Amino acid sequence: MSGDGDKTEHFDTLFLSIAQHHPQGASQLLDTFVNFLGRKTDFFTGGKEGDWEKLVMSTFRKYEKLSRDQHEAELKEKQLTDAEADKLQAELDAKKNPSTSKQQPATPALTAETIEEDEDESEKGKLKPNEGNGCDLDKYKWTQTLSDIE
């Protein structure tokens, strides 16, 4: 099966390029491909009646199952990772504040809610500047000063 994946991944860049020329999405791409098969091959006329339909349906079912299995595995992995992270965070919180681990102060929660309410709708999803009016990313960090701006 991994051999099939290697062969099909070879065409990913080609198919992505073709897909970019289909703004209406997968249905338009599929329509173009089936039109090609009808015009340039004997796909519909070369075998017994209905053979092409069986082939198409078995292929779609095969990749639907693979796609669903992969999606479910990713969800399960994410759930396990989230659960492990929650458990680890709880352990760290308990180690930091053994006496206050059961009692959560109400003030920080209210402060966080107040801060979230103060944000404009247009600011949601944007990165906040760091102390130097720049940004901290995974691999890059920068700051700027007034002399840099002028």
Based on the fold, state whether residues 42 and 70 are members of the same structural domain: no
93-112 pLDDT, tens digit per residue, is: 888 876 654 555 555 554 55
Do the domain assignments include residue 138? no
Do the domain assignments include residue 130? no
Based on the fold, state whether residues 58 and 15 are members of the same structural domain: no
Based on the fold, state whether residues 56 and 16 are members of the same structural domain: no
Sign, CA dihedral 14-61-41-24, equals negative
Q: Which residues of 86-122 are buried (b: 16+ CB within 10 A; e: fewer)?
A: eeeeeeeeeeeeeeeeeeeeeeeeeeeeeeeeeeeee
> Rounded to whole angstroms, how far apart are CA atoms 125 and 121?
9
Q: Which domain holds residue 21?
A: 11-46
Do the domain assignments include residue 57? yes
Do the domain assignments include residue 108? no
What is the chain's mean pLDDT, rounded?
79
In a 13 Å sphere around the CA of 146, the CA atoms on its Cβ side amount to: 0
Instruction: Report residue 54 as tokens.
Output: 């069986």
Angle at 75 between CA 70 and CA 77, to 5 degrees: 95
Based on the fold, state whether residues 70 and 95 are members of the same structural domain: yes
Based on the fold, state whether residues 52 and 95 are members of the same structural domain: yes
Total-model pTM: 0.44
19 vs 88, more confident: 19
Do the domain assignments include residue 127? no
- Flag the least confident range among 27-36, 60-69, 73-82: 73-82
25-53 pLDDT, tens digit per residue, is: 999 999 999 999 999 999 999 889 889 99
Per-residue pLDDT at 1: 46
Based on the fold, state whether residues 53 and 95 are members of the same structural domain: yes
Based on the fold, state whether residues 37 and 68 are members of the same structural domain: no
- Name the domain count of the chain: 2
Based on the fold, state whether residues 34 and 53 are members of the same structural domain: no
Residue 119 has pLDDT above 70, yes or no: no
